[in-house]
Amino acid sequence: MLDLSLIKEAPEKVRLALSKKKIALDFNELLLADEKRRSLIVFVDELRSKQKQFSKELASLSPEDKTKKMTEMKFVSAELKKRQAELSSAEEEFRKLWLYVPNIPSEEVPDGDSDADNKEIKKWGTEPDFDFKPKSHEDLIGTLDIADIDRAVKVSGNKFYYLKGKGVILEMALMRFAMDKLMAAGFTPLMPPDLVRADAMYGAAHFPPEDDAYALERDELYLAGTAEVGLACYHKDEILKSEELPKKYCGYSACFRREAGSYGRKGGGLYRVHQFHKIEMFVYAKPEDSETEHQKLLGVAEVIMRELELPYRVVLNCGGDLGLPQYKKYDVEAWLPSKQDWGETHSCSNDTDYQARRLGIKFETKDGKKEYVHTLNNTAVASPRIVIPLLEIHQQRDGSVKVPEALRKYTGFDEIKVVR
């Protein structure tokens, strides 16, 4: 949630943010809604004040004056009821518009409409030069017998899958490998709820839009698309101590998403499935430290990619590829031999105080002041998103896949052989 004073005091700054993030919002409608809401608040407060004053005067009035005053106050009460209903409606109208106002992006964020306009800032590793025709991950999961998509379609429909055999062990190995890395870096592991309430989704700025999430309407719960929701809400309505910051958590969870996303344009198989598992990093930081913590989060992801021996690049996301809460975001992308293209594996965001304002999370400074924390997040590993380049990069001429050295103590095997 953006500081309301910015909307009033620096409207042009907000207009530019809307334009840079390609968000269609009638800014004049928002300002008019705010003006209407504030004028109704004044009106309602005046009517309530009249009621209170009447209650104080009642005992000292003569019977005749009391009857007259009672008649007058019936009109005040009726008017108050009417204006309260109008205020409730006006506040809801304003809230809906206000929730679409994005965080102001960093000046470093490039202009652009989509991920095609993101700016590459670094690369690591060499794109493999196979002396054979490399297979796609879709072909590899079949010949290695480590996933079954056809049977999952019978159970759940498109974009679901069964992991199978060594595919299951590989995913578990990736998760434990990443968890050990994060604990060594000072992150506290959490396993947050997969089902969350609407106010948690709004607080984490994953709503609006509401229709992207799977809803359990009977129970008024939603399936979270990432552990970020639970991690962001962990300290909801709390005041943290200055010396506690930064607080670092890593959340392991199932993730549920409706959208197909950018991977959906690149093929089938395990690309952008509706359900997957992920470890998410999350940091609560002091405002003056958030940029440093952002770079540290990016660095953790890069260490993971290097130890998995996956060539990658880092891109700075353009305005059109930023969500509502993001001030600045980096994507880490792995090389995909079968597509001769890059595919996102990590998304590293600095949301400044946008989430914290929605969730009421502050910290007490050394001089006793209360300020909103800054929140940051990044993927550690997401499967099968990381499995796709891992299979394609480490495939061998005979169709087997070599397991990176860093994972072998977790898998118990150093290659996945062809089964069929």
Give the span between the Cα atoms of 202 and 179, in whole angstroms.
Answer: 28
Active site residue 258: no
- Catalytic position from the list 344, 349, 358, 383: 344
Q: Name 347's bridge partners.
A: 331
Specify whether 383 is catalytic. no
What tokens appear for 238 in the block? 């709390």
- Which residue carries 């949630």 as its tokens? 1
Q: For 406, which DSSP code?
A: G
Beta strands in 91-192 (DSSP E): 119-124, 147-148, 162-163, 188-190
Given CA atoms 227, 381, 184, 205 in this order, what sign does their dihedral have? negative
Report whether 253 contacts 277 (CB < 8 A): yes
- Annotated active-site residue 385? The verdict is yes
- The pair of structure tokens assigned to 29 is 């409608």
- Say how far apart CA 417 and CA 400 lie, in whole Å: 5
Structure tokens at 77: 């009460």
Residue 140 token pair: 């590899």
Residues 84/44, Cβ–Cβ less than 8 Å: yes
- Distance between CA atoms of residues 349 and 322, nearest Å: 9
Choosing from 37, 272, 357, 358, the catalytic residue is 272
The catalytic residue among 136, 253, 338, 347 is 347
Under a CB-based contact definition with an 8 Å cutoff, are residues 51 and 75 in contact? no
Across-strand partners of 409?
A: none
Asked about 347 being catalytic, the answer comes back as yes
Task: Show contacts of 155-158: CB within 8 Å, 24+ apart.
Answer: 156/274
* Catalytic-role residue among 37, 83, 257, 313: 257
Q: How far apart are CA 154 and CA 322, in angstroms?
A: 36
Provide the 10 A C-beta neighbour count for residue 175.
19
Cis? peptide before 246, omega within 30° of 0? yes
20, amino acid identity:
K
Q: Which of 37, 313, 358, 385 is catalytic?
A: 385
Which residues carry out catalysis? 257, 272, 344, 347, 385
